[in-house]
Chain A
């Protein structure tokens, strides 16, 4: 690697590296300026990047990171396709999840960039299109059983041939959509974006020569890879485990799991998804490109926060997963909602597992956290809008779920996902001006933030009806109504689950009227909505961090005053008694009582389990656990000095478990009938050590089994 890099000077390399980033940014500007999709212009559900001839991403924007590997796979497909002549001026279009796409709505275009007769780079652009045909508007079909019922698939088509648009092909593509003008505008945006990339790279080649540009773009990747491997070497070797779940496949309310076993060894990371659920009969599946996208998004956002994002981050990562699982579905399984279902949940599981590694690292524990916005609920609306035009909208407000807490600070309320750093949501006024919606509120939802020593951010909630039209077709679906995806870390609880409710005849002329509200399950699906109906929904809050009983009572008081936490939740979850201020003695005694109840009424005091040394001498394992030396052995001990495990980090064997079918109402968490929560406590103090979610009949395994040499290194440090 180093030898290659020596071919160009560090100065020229840095200049070209900066140019590649600037060009990628310019591609973003071109796409967002021309595009007509709110998913692109507001929510930033798109991707722009530059790729090597081998399809490795060399430079990418800060939009949806899930897409990073997808265009690369598309480029490799084109390059390897027999009879496909790739010429200067060509542009290719595709959206087939069984070739290279997360789902069919993600339409992408790529263009080779030539220097002489050699391809030196490819430019790629992708965006979520509101409608690409299929049996239901917006191309999301909960009842689909095979992929032909969903949106059209464009395997790999040359849309521009040596600079000439194939208008007949374009017409065929846009004709398949219910919103041909919108799709047509976006395809023009793609072309403008690729033109910008081509022009700028050509200028760069004219200045520095093809060999240098080509070499620099490879070295951009190796430079990041060097950083990524260095980062991995800093983290403790071991086996880490995490799982997340999603419920309802569009047909039945089955609980599926995305299970990842992570092996961190030296400067490599192996992610094994083999224990995940089999593929489903419904549209929640993902194909292998979807799984690779999920891994990319999770690894980039969690471990590569301070390095340029490109293939170099992903090179040290190996993914193991057999075909036929929910994240590697086999043809012709439907995959229409893959992005917000399996891809999203696979990324959740991966991020949670990676955060467990960060948490075990003394250097990076400060930034270990639970999960942000663990679900992206869907509210689609279609019909004839207030201007008499056919319309279809995909509401982006559900992005405004809560962010997870860090050990030193609460999560951001309405912070949204971290896998797409620049997402935003449209103003209520802008929405109401151009689409037939009318909002009753858009505000922060109290008691949705994951409980913990540091609290997860609150979710946003909205209530809306139709504005300017009488009726339309609505599609309501999500996961995370019965799964607490936005999990906490180190005894922090997840944020509230999604609550979707529907009030028939609950509005009249834009005013709320009394009417009963139905609480929806995860996927009520397609329904007719009138301007008398109200859809009211709150999304998931961010995951908390640490034991909620250790939250500063004054912080809870502030939560109460600003309306983030209700009085009842303050008492039930945080053990804080508040009467015009914190009642400190009552709070102290309530918290003690709650700790005692956690372990069955009495604290264990068996002498053999008591660590005699000073627990401060060891190394922190989590927020509530430390590793300490004892002669040639080591123990995992609680803050109270109770020995939970010896010569292994499988500390759950010594803790008191409490398994629950449902958590108290104040958590705002509803659990699927096959899902359980288990809280693990220190027998001697009642301190909460971890909250695990698992199938009814299968306990969660130990989730951080750290190698002895890594333990030694932690203790020596």
Chain B
């Protein structure tokens, strides 16, 4: 039986989503192991066993294997990536430490930002002792101001050899305009250190701005040996067991790539889990006919939101990790520290929820692991939303009395509220903060949240979704069949994708037209990026039809922020330039209001991106399901803490197509509870997704 598999390594669990040839899909979860690899293999063995197959027979039947991992991220966060040397232009060796002043406050939340004592949490990605300056200089136009002579290059390479460097990042000023010096350094290093992992900034991060480019190149070089080792071990194990297909790695930009293609660019796969979740949500949106999707994921410590607009995820050009700005084109997933573990407290008469979290250890009070501070999970338990006997599919019994006691003592008494009122208050504050993030993801970007379908993922997502969707003015939400493993689902079903970028610089004064040679430079960049992106995917999947989408980064002259505007043509001439400017103005006004655009300022074009996609056929999904079983009833608070409502509790692991259930009810899955409030109705579609919708009352 053919299997399509997606594996996603998370902080606590490694998820495996699988579709078998008969259309049935299943999810397996295994604890993430320290070496990461073990958790992946464990999950696969669980799956093999469930299908009654040996590990080898199971592997032999795999037709597609997608993988997302935190190996690189962990290495960067814990400083255990490879010791990496940086070669840069003389006079600029402190670029990483200065960090544009951003490094020192990077990663601080809004509550920490005002506290100077908390600054400088992250050291520079590499200490000064690993940075080698070379006397060379290229200017903004690519002119060689100071040539890199052989003796100088050899001196730098000599230092690398003396230090036994194995990972090397080369980032010289304006190499993106003229890469001659970086290329020369690469050739010299390669001759002296043939086995070293070398990353060149103009290849890894082709954009103007040395701090983020150097950080990105350095992170890439530091991850190279580690990611390469990890992936080749994974592939060896699976290939030896009989798997015939390559491992497809999830990238931040939301496409998968064979490891062979990604080996030189590990930084592109740094943050694959959240991207996988959004990609999965996009695929699901396609299945159910939703073009605009707001995908939410409530975990223990964080709440993540991604948005898909007209079938395309919202992207960002930069992410910030371990104190460094990295130019890694990524699906934009915004996050706040709000989740089941968020701690509620009363301080000087004010009720606060989060951002402090009890995490998994000691965890909420109701876990009985020594937690004493009431959390959102405790509130959900007291309100009847969670079943103390059936948490994580019954793996853990929750202590409802302890949760109620903690809420009474720490919240209710100081505020003069009943326990139910206090628990409900905790819920409301948390839900409201989460709704704020969903507004940020839509309204701030010029979209109306009412045009979106909300998908509820993660363990706690489906129990909060009805409030969040109502907060945004929506009367429905969808709980995906793979809600607890949406990333793995996305990774399993994702298309091949790669984004190539090129910097350009075109400056157009007020009322002026760009010079022909400048337009030609944009055309050349489009052509070269298209060739790179298409070539890579062709190599990865020779038979697939490859589609290219082009974007141009443009801003009003003098601005710092730009917008990436879709560009339909293959080359830029006066006509397509005119179209670009028109589209930019339109989108700008959508975002900032009518009258906000200011064409009198003129324009600047800063770069282009070409996204190549090779479509991979998705597995067909159609499950028979497992009928809802009415287990019992319990009292649940929906909107009035004084009046809990008797609520039917159903159990299932996969609702059969067409199943319907009237609210108030809770449908308990292993790992999540879908709350269907009064006057709502849940119905399952043929893929096992639950649509929860308000009915006229």
A485 within 8 A of B: no
B100 within 8 A of A: yes
Alpha-carbon gap, A18 to B95, bound state (A): 36
B129 near A36 with CB under 8 A, answer: no
A429 within 8 A of B: yes
A14 near B94 with CB under 8 A, answer: no
Alpha-carbon gap, A467 to B351, bound state (A): 56
A152 within 8 A of B: no
Chain A residue contacts of B348, Cβ below 8 A: 223, 226-227, 230
Given contacts A414-B101, A439-B91, contact A36 B601 (CB under 8 A): yes
- Among A10, A300, A430, contact of B208 (Cβ-Cβ < 8 Å): A430
B114 near A300 with CB under 8 A, answer: yes
Chain B residue contacts of A442, Cβ below 8 A: 91-92, 94-95, 98
Given contacts A223-B348, A442-B92, A443-B91, contact A563 B128 (CB under 8 A): yes
A-contact bits for B112-133, CB 8 A (1 contact / 0 none):
0111110110000001110000
Residue of B nearest to A510 (CB): B145
B429 near A14 with CB under 8 A, answer: yes
Partner-contacting stretch, out of A187-195, A266-274, A586-594: A187-195
Given contacts A192-B592, A428-B92, A562-B127, contact A11 B440 (CB under 8 A): no
Alpha-carbon gap, A134 to B114, bound state (A): 36
Partner-contacting stretch, out of A23-31, A659-667, A680-688: A23-31
A422 near B350 with CB under 8 A, answer: no
Given contacts A30-B592, A429-B174, contact A399 B101 (CB under 8 A): yes
Alpha-carbon gap, A532 to B596, bound state (A): 41
B561 within 8 A of A: yes
A148 within 8 A of B: no
Chain B residue contacts of A304, Cβ below 8 A: 114
Query: Which chain A residues in 411-467 approach chain B with CB under 8 Å?
Result: 412-416, 418, 421-430, 432-434, 438-444, 460, 463, 467
Interface centre among B212, B346, B349 (most CB of A within 10 A): B349
Chain A residue contacts of B362, Cβ below 8 A: none
B154 within 8 A of A: no
Given contacts A34-B592, A301-B116, A432-B139, contact A185 B559 (CB under 8 A): yes
B119 near A415 with CB under 8 A, answer: yes
A191 near B115 with CB under 8 A, answer: no
Chain B residue contacts of A369, Cβ below 8 A: 116
Residue of B nearest to A181 (CB): B601
B79 to A: closest C-beta gap in Å: 17
Query: Which chain A residues in 36-66 approach chain B with CB under 8 Å?
Result: 36-38, 41-42, 62
B117 near A62 with CB under 8 A, answer: no
Query: Which chain B residues in 129-186 approach chain A with CB under 8 Å?
Result: 129, 137, 139-141, 145-146, 173-174
B593 near A226 with CB under 8 A, answer: no
A413 near B97 with CB under 8 A, answer: yes
- Among A42, A181, A400, A467, contact of B139 (Cβ-Cβ < 8 Å): A467
B559 near A367 with CB under 8 A, answer: no
B35 within 8 A of A: no
- Among B115, B208, B415, contact of A427 (Cβ-Cβ < 8 Å): B208
Residue of B nearest to A415 (CB): B104
A510 near B596 with CB under 8 A, answer: no
A181 near B210 with CB under 8 A, answer: no
Q: What is the number of residues of chain A that contact chain B, defined by CB distance less than 8 Å?
A: 93
Chain A residue contacts of B425, Cβ below 8 A: 9-11, 14
Chain B residue contacts of A181, Cβ below 8 A: 510, 557-558, 598, 600-602
A424 near B102 with CB under 8 A, answer: yes
B591 near A62 with CB under 8 A, answer: no
A528 within 8 A of B: no
A-contact bits for B175-208, CB 8 A (1 contact / 0 none):
0000000000000000000000000000000001
A10 near B98 with CB under 8 A, answer: no
B-contact bits for A1-31, CB 8 A (1 contact / 0 none):
0100100011101110011011001100110
B-contact bits for A125-165, CB 8 A (1 contact / 0 none):
00000000000000000000000000000000000000001
Given contacts A33-B592, A421-B114, contact A400 B436 (CB under 8 A): no
Alpha-carbon gap, A427 to B98, bound state (A): 10
Chain B residue contacts of A38, Cβ below 8 A: 560
A362 to B: closest C-beta gap in Å: 16
Alpha-carbon gap, A442 to B137, bound state (A): 14
A493 within 8 A of B: no
B63 within 8 A of A: no
A185 near B351 with CB under 8 A, answer: no
Chain A residue contacts of B556, Cβ below 8 A: 36, 185
A679 to B: closest C-beta gap in Å: 27
- Among A15, A300, A444, contact of B428 (Cβ-Cβ < 8 Å): A15
A32 within 8 A of B: yes
- Among A18, A42, A389, A444, contact of B432 (Cβ-Cβ < 8 Å): A18
A117 within 8 A of B: no
- Among B119, B145, B433, B596, contact of A188 (Cβ-Cβ < 8 Å): B596
A14 near B91 with CB under 8 A, answer: no
Chain B residue contacts of A418, Cβ below 8 A: 116
Chain A residue contacts of B596, Cβ below 8 A: 34, 188, 191-192
B98 near A444 with CB under 8 A, answer: yes
A651 within 8 A of B: no
B640 within 8 A of A: no
B444 within 8 A of A: yes
A511 within 8 A of B: yes
B102 near A185 with CB under 8 A, answer: no
B120 near A62 with CB under 8 A, answer: no
Residue of B nearest to A26 (CB): B444
A364 to B: closest C-beta gap in Å: 10
Alpha-carbon gap, A421 to B101, bound state (A): 10
A561 within 8 A of B: yes
Alpha-carbon gap, A427 to B346, bound state (A): 44
Alpha-carbon gap, A434 to B111, bound state (A): 35
B93 near A443 with CB under 8 A, answer: yes
Residue of B nearest to A2 (CB): B349
- Among A32, A182, A372, A561, contact of B129 (Cβ-Cβ < 8 Å): A561
A-contact bits for B554-592, CB 8 A (1 contact / 0 none):
001111110000000000000000000000000000011
Alpha-carbon gap, A438 to B228, bound state (A): 39
Query: Which chain B residues in 535-571 approach chain A with CB under 8 Å?
Result: 556-561
A-contact bits for B419-431, CB 8 A (1 contact / 0 none):
0000011001100
B117 near A427 with CB under 8 A, answer: no
B86 to A: closest C-beta gap in Å: 14
A431 to B: closest C-beta gap in Å: 9
Chain B residue contacts of A387, Cβ below 8 A: 507, 509
B595 within 8 A of A: yes
Given contacts A5-B349, A181-B600, A425-B100, contact A443 B140 (CB under 8 A): no
B360 to A: closest C-beta gap in Å: 25
A33 near B561 with CB under 8 A, answer: yes
A41 near B101 with CB under 8 A, answer: no
Given contacts A10-B350, A306-B114, A427-B100, contact A511 B105 (CB under 8 A): no
Chain B residue contacts of A223, Cβ below 8 A: 348-350
Chain A residue contacts of B105, Cβ below 8 A: 421-422
B350 near A14 with CB under 8 A, answer: yes
B558 near A562 with CB under 8 A, answer: no
A309 within 8 A of B: yes
Alpha-carbon gap, A223 to B347, bound state (A): 10
What are 20 A-to-B residue pairs whose CB atoms are below 8 Å?
A: A10-B346, A25-B110, A30-B592, A34-B596, A36-B557, A42-B560, A185-B556, A185-B601, A188-B596, A195-B593, A223-B350, A387-B507, A399-B101, A424-B101, A427-B211, A432-B140, A439-B91, A442-B91, A443-B91, A510-B145
Known: A185-B556, A442-B94. 5 other contacts (CB 8 A): A2-B349, A32-B561, A34-B596, A304-B114, A433-B208
Please list the 4 inter-chain residue pairs (A to B) with the smallest Cβ-Cβ separation, ordered nearest first: A441-B91, A41-B560, A36-B558, A11-B425
Interface residues of A (CB under 8 A from B): 2, 5, 9-11, 13-15, 18-19, 21-22, 25-26, 29-30, 32-38, 41-42, 62, 165, 181-182, 184-185, 188, 191-192, 195, 200, 223, 226-227, 230, 300-301, 304-306, 309, 366-367, 369, 372, 387-389, 399-400, 403, 406, 412-416, 418, 421-430, 432-434, 438-444, 460, 463, 467-468, 509-511, 561-563
